[in-house]
Amino acid sequence: MPGKRWAASTLLALSLLAVGTPPQAAASAAPEVPLEEINAVTTQVAFGLRRPVAIAAPDDGTDRLFIVEKRGTVRVYHPDTGLAPDPIIDITSSVDESGNERGLLGIALSPGFADDHELYLAYTALPDGAVTLARYDMDDESLDPLLAQEHGENTNHNGGDLAFGTDGMLYMSIGDGGGSGDPFDSGQRLDTLLGKILRIDVSRTCGDLAYCVPGDNPFAGVAGARGEIWMYGGRNPWRFSVDHAGGSMWIADVGQGRWEEINHVKPGDQAGANLGWSCFEGFEVFDEAQCRPDETYTKPVFTYSPHTGGCAVIGGEVYRGEQFADLVGGTYIATDYCSSTVWALREDGEGGYQQAELGQTPTQVTAFGATPEGELYVVNDLPGGLHRVTFERATPTCHVRYVKQAWGTGMTVDLTITNTGAAPINGWTLRFPLPRGQQVVSDWNTDLTQSGDMVTAASAAHNAAIAPGASVTMGYLVSHTGDSSLPSRISLNRDACSVTR
């Protein structure tokens, strides 16, 4: 589970699993509703879980959810009967739960689960904490280890997510071996499975292996490299998902402390993709000694600074359900373990991504999961609950209009903030990220601070009150290194604002 990078000992590292068999929907046109006009809503439907870390949804007509608990158990939830008191799977005798981030970490159901009743589990195994992949047969309750990666030096950065791709192959994430700063240089090495996304064929065996390495894996047969590697350069790709409407992969990689990142890698770019760690953390060079001038690095499509309360990105899923398709169809939803911010990313059709905050999840969400119909759930660590995720359209209660003047390496930005809601605002705080290379020099009509890329701008004494329909102005001066673009998103008192640029 992803730990809090700068003080990990007391934080449960987290997990997201984009599991189950997502609906085989065709990619559809993006909804016309702006992301700023959408709220995410969670409703708790089950209590009493013990540190849940993953969700799976059997496509067998039973409407069940399988919920993984860190200690080594899997519980069953049904919308009609609730959470069953006894686990349906118990492998606690095989699981090393020592430390904050070890335990049963991930689950993926066999593509033929309705008939073969087989599933796959990722866990840290006794006695040495090796990150282990095993097949579990629900008919005879047998656990058959298939693959193990030594991970004894540190208890954190285990990864452990699992998902079947549209090609029928099983994908697995493993962290860089833990500690801080990639002490083993695992991310850029090809002779270890640490810091990687793996791709294997679990439907067959090959030689001494309990699985097969697909022949089209990028390093299959390459001397000195592990053939199971599909992508490399991960720090702790704690949760990733496969969008079955096209086969692209969304990989949320927990950062060292400056940047959380999300990568969106499409099918033609996946094999051999280098996600950058530990040369890069986000877009910034982290360890120049790990950088190679002839290497092509996959850039994240979204980064955020944890300086406003975040600590570990919890990757989610692309919404492919029907109930809210008109609002968030084709939109990727994720969150953060500490800030609970709901992040939404949507391709803009021009090679970029729209982004917005859709509100907040419950505290300490550790995993998303989707039903076979594509509807979303989340589980949270403490106090251990299951929550259904829904979406609603809501007119933004604020509107921001930018006016900028840019020159050379400087720029001023004036913001007019309008209260578009029905209630007066008495005291306000704006939050927005600055593009890379922009640094605030001064500000006016606000009390402004910058931490990393994030700006927090609070009201001054003379403009704290904004009546419905009224506006106030503020602004700032920044230096820049060539990028004079405006903030990509903005919120007022944690509500997303509509924007005119």
- Are 459 and 406 in contact, with CB atoms under 8 Å apart? no
Q: How confident is the model at residue 308 (pLDDT cuts 50, 70, 90)?
A: confident
Predicted confidence at residue 30, as pLDDT, reads 74
pLDDT the model gives residue 307: 81
pLDDT at 4: 38
The model's confidence at residue 1, banded by pLDDT at 50, 70 and 90, is low
Region 8-371+384-393: CATH code: 2.120.10.30
Q: Give the residue, 300 or 25, on which the prediction is more confident.
A: 300
Report pLDDT digits (tens) over 136-153.
999 999 999 999 999 999
Residue range 29-45: mean pLDDT, rounded: 92
Span 463-476, pLDDT tens digits: 999 999 999 999 99
Burial group, residue 334, by CB count within 10 angstroms (0-12, 13-18, 19+): buried
For residues 68 and 53, the answer to whether their CB atoms sit within 8 Å is yes
Report the chain's mean pLDDT, rounded to a whole number: 93
Q: Number of C-alpha atoms within 13 angstroms, CB side, residue 483? A: 10
pTM for this model (two decimals): 0.92
Rounded Cα distance between 123 and 108, Å, is 12
Spell out the domain ranges in the chain.
Answer: 8-371+384-393, 398-500
> Residue 13 has what pLDDT?
37
- Res 5 pLDDT > 70: no
* CA distances, 103 to each of 47, 68, 203, 401 (Å): 21, 10, 25, 49
What's the pLDDT tens digit per position in 393-444? 999 999 999 999 999 999 999 999 999 999 999 999 999 999 999 999 999 9
Q: Over 90: is that where the pLDDT of 25 sits?
A: no
pLDDT in tens, 46-90: 999 999 999 999 999 999 999 999 999 999 999 999 999 999 999
Residue 15 confidence (pLDDT) above 70: no
pLDDT number for residue 2: 58
Pick the CATH number of 398-500 from 3.30.470.10, 2.40.50.140, 2.60.40.290, 3.30.930.10: 2.60.40.290
* pLDDT value of position 103: 98
CA–CA separation, 302 and 252 (whole Å): 9
Residue 309 has pLDDT above 60, yes or no: yes
- Give the pLDDT confidence of 319-353 residue by residue, as tens digits: 999 999 999 999 999 999 999 999 999 999 999 99
- Bridge-based pairing state of the strands 446-451 and 398-407: unpaired
> Over the range 45-54, which residues count as b (16 or more CB within 10 Å of their CB) and which as e?
ebeebebbbb
Is 23 a residue whose pLDDT tops 80?
no
How many CB atoms are located within 10 Å of the residue 297 CB? 16
* Segment 157-175, tens digit of pLDDT: 999 999 999 999 999 999 9
Element at 39 (helix H, strand E): strand 38-46
In this prediction, residue 16 carries a pLDDT of 35
pLDDT range class, residue 29, cuts 50, 70, 90: low
Query: Is 469 buried (19+), middle (13-18) or exposed (0-12) by CB count in 10 A?
Result: exposed
